[in-house]
Structure 1
Amino acid sequence: MHTELRSPAGEALTALVLELFRVNNLILGWGDRLVAPLGLTSARWQVLGAVGTADRPQPVAWLARDLGASRQNVQRIVNDLAQAGLVEFAPNPHHKRAQLVVLTEAGAAASAAALALYDPRSNVLAAGIAAEDLAAARRVLAVLRARLDAEGTQP
């Protein structure tokens, strides 16, 4: 191990990153089980949510950027959602080939149903954790995300 090269903050960050990996995997499995009755997966639910919460219809590349995911992966999921009738494509007045992704009525209903399942479970998961602690964790993650975004593709 090269822990002697890490500052105390670097060591704490490493522990946080390892915990995030574990939590991410658990969240994805939890989300899959939560929305399975709706015919969704965590990935589909995440993309559906991004489409539904966007200020205006966006092309796949913008959705991928906002999600921090690859365009190809988001395109595959959007295609699956379109085949399921949950999203549709609309012309993009600014780009001939990059169509806009729009929720259908069925997509809006599925998104609302997923939130109806999620909201009570989020309250159970958050029970006993101070809202201020959760807000602090979100702020730390936002700073890390911004720093990683600024690095771009650099290792």
Structure 2
Amino acid sequence: MSRAQQDALSRTALAVFRLNGQFLSVSERLAEPAGLTAAWWQVLGAVLPEPLPVAGIARVMGITRQSVQRIADLLVREGLAAYEPNPAHRRAKLLTPTPEGRAAIDRIDPGHAELAARLMSELGGQDAFEETVRVLRRLSAALDAIELEARESDG
């Protein structure tokens, strides 16, 4: 690997770490009026389209199952989500939002929509925004492929 490649990797990682921090900060601000944290919003958001087991949520989010389990249990305790039986796996219950959880997410929507519009404007329009998403997904897929290859060679 050349020094230029290493520098590019370092700059990319630092930019993504900064971006992660920025997204967490803005997410906390958006979620707070709804009585949520960014992490609660993230887990609830993962199960809005369909109920998922904790391990499935962790895969989608790219974090540990234990982290998701802790948040899921808190959401259930607060009445924002519920566990339901999983026909595919007796012990791995499915997490689903309750009406209260959906209502909390709905309260975030106006701020979320405003931020999306402002970001689109800052990036130069819808096409530029979509290109940003494509590049980030491509980077994520490349890292997934490298990790899979490393796991296969280790085991």
Query: Scaled by the length of structure 2, what TM-score is found?
Result: 0.86
What is residue 48 of structure 1 aligned with on the other side? 44
What is residue 28 of structure 2 aligned with on the other side? 32
Could you tell me which runs of 5 or more consecutive residues in structure 2 were left unpaired when the two chains were aligned.
Answer: none
Check whether the contact 1:35–1:117 (CA below 8 A) recurs between aligned residues. Answer: no
Check whether the contact 2:83–2:93 (CA below 8 A) recurs between aligned residues. Answer: yes
TM alignment of 1:56-135, pairs within 5 A = 56-130=50-124, 131-135=126-130
1:136 Cα shift?
Answer: 1.9
Report the RMSD for the aligned CA atoms in angstroms.
2.0
1:125 Cα shift?
Answer: 2.9
What is residue 138 of structure 1 aligned with on the other side? 133
Q: Amino acid of the residue matched to residue 148 of structure 1?
A: L
What is residue 16 of structure 1 aligned with on the other side? 12
Deviations 1:43-68 (A, max 9, x none): 11111111103xx3211101110111
* Equivalent position SS for 2:92: coil
Query: Scaled by the length of structure 1, what TM-score is found?
Result: 0.86
CA distance in 2, matches of 1:146, 1:12: 17
| Percent of paired sites with the same residue | 40
1:11 Cα shift?
Answer: 3.4
Deviations 1:19-54 (A, max 9, x none): 11112112101111221111111111111111103x
